[in-house]
Chain A
Amino acid sequence: MATQASGPGVGSQVPVTTPAATESGDLGAPLYIAWQVTNECNLACLHCIEESGPGKAFRDELTDEQVFSVLEQALDLEVPYLSFSGGEPMVHPRFFDMVEYVCGRNGQLKIETNGHYLSPENCARLKRLGVKAVQVSLDGATKETFNRMRVRGDFDRALEGVRNLRAAGVPIEINYSPTCFNAHEIGVAVDLAAELGAYSFYSGRTMYTGNAVKTWHRLALSEAQYDTFFEVLHQKTGEYRGRMRVHFHEMGLLEELRYRLHHPAALLIVLPNGLVKLINALPFVCGDLRLQTLGEIWARFQQAWQDPRVAKFVDDLAKDPGKTASLHQWVYL
């Protein structure tokens, strides 16, 4: 069942890829919108790739009217999959209304949360509304490492939140960001995720951007540590095959961006103020949902990737990996 095959033949194999790997060129709309609904967060995590934290909401975050207009546009365009992240998405005052709108229009929605607002009532509500999954960040298998990383956070509370999700019957995903002080717990963390009933476990390389720039000296892993980290994940992938999907990106940022230059993903990153980024790991903005429609932004998304400044940034990154520190100084294409 090959893409773009013509004639009557159905073919025998359906090509498979992922939203992040699906090229955007031939698609009429994105397959995935990753929306950072607010920059506000109850925690002040050391490794946060955004510049989120308490009191860090952008002054120009989208109004309620704008938020629901964007959601309406996304669902009118049949974007099949959305995620709400932040900051902490559950502190957005209209969070549940947004969830209700997306799910009510049959959109598949994932919530990416730190797990601190997952009370039994909220979990039951998420279940009732029909979210596809809730991804909880559990960057540690112990209270000591988790609380060290997630400043103002509490391991037990996050754990309780995940248990509440399970009790409510909400599909669970666990996310794990490695640092020099929690990487050794990865094996136990994967086991814990399985024990908590997660169906997916995600990890990858922690990025030098956002809040992590200031704390990098306390976080950074050596390549040797990463080797061990990924070795354990490979082992766990096999161990949990068929029970829990262990998914991780070993690819370095530069490699990923070089690939993306020629194969932009069918994914839009929406910031709390409606700016749309090409990809999280680049500073480039290709549209503004306060001024343009989602359809207009998508129509020029491919072209924006071809802007010479994008390739130049990636080339410069090869010489100076520290350039990721400037990802939040947006460059308008």
Chain B
Amino acid sequence: MAGFLAIIAAGDPPMKLAKYVKFREEKFGSVLFETRSEKVYTLNPTATAVVRELQAGRDERDIPGRLKERFRDDSGAIEREVVAFFAELREKGLVED
């Protein structure tokens, strides 16, 4: 896990949803709507939990561990996927620091 999280340097500004991104929870999870490109991203419950944590102002570095606990995942898969998800959110311009 430390390897994956190494890309998140201490002291980085907190990650938050980008200005033109709207988040809405749904029965199946949630949607992220990037209103400039008019793209809609559908998220499953776990990804929704990640965005909810971001919305709550949680530090990016704390979120993988929190979700690992919540989903009782000892395999490390959740942590890896959450970090990959952060990278994907950044790459798609859905978050800003």
Contact = CB atoms under 8 A, between A and B. Distances in A.
A55 interface: no
B4 interface: no
A14 interface: yes
Interface in B71-97: 71, 73, 77-78, 81-82, 84-85, 88-89, 92
A93 to B, nearest CB: 27
Contact of A12 (B26, B38, B43, B88): B88
Nearest to A26: B28
Contacts of A295: none
Contact of B84 (A7, A10, A80): A10
Contacts of A3: 28-29, 42-44
Contacts of B81: 9-12
Nearest to A12: B84
Contacts of B92: 14, 16
A59 to B, nearest CB: 34
A31 to B, nearest CB: 6
A10 B36 contact: no
Contact of B29 (A4, A9, A13, A29): A4
Contact of A16 (B41, B47, B71, B78): B41
Interface in A12-52: 12-22, 26-29, 31
A315 to B, nearest CB: 30
B20 A132 contact: yes
Interface string B38-52: 111111111100100
B87 to A, nearest CB: 10
Nearest to A15: B42
Interface hub of A8, A11, A78 (most chain B Cβ within 10 A): A8
Contact of B26 (A10, A16, A17, A28): A28
Contact of B44 (A4, A19, A200): A4
A16 B40 contact: yes
A81 interface: yes
Interface hub of B39, B44, B88 (most chain A Cβ within 10 A): B44
A5 interface: yes
Interface in A245-287: 245, 266
Nearest to A20: B38
Contacts of A80: 22, 24, 33, 35
Nearest to B32: A14
A2 B24 contact: no
B28 to A, nearest CB: 5
Contact of A10 (B20, B33, B82): B82
Contacts of B71: 8
B65 to A, nearest CB: 14
A14 B88 contact: yes
A1 B47 contact: yes
A171 interface: yes
Contact of B38 (A4, A10, A18): A18
Interface of B: 20, 22, 24, 26-29, 31-33, 35-47, 50, 71, 73, 77-78, 81-82, 84-85, 88-89, 92
Given A1-B47, A10-B81, A18-B38, 7 more contacts: A1-B46, A3-B29, A6-B44, A8-B46, A8-B77, A9-B78, A14-B41
5 contacts: A1-B41, A2-B44, A9-B77, A108-B22, A110-B35
In the complex, the 3 A-B pairs of residues with the closest C-beta atoms, listed nearest first: A80-B22, A10-B81, A5-B44
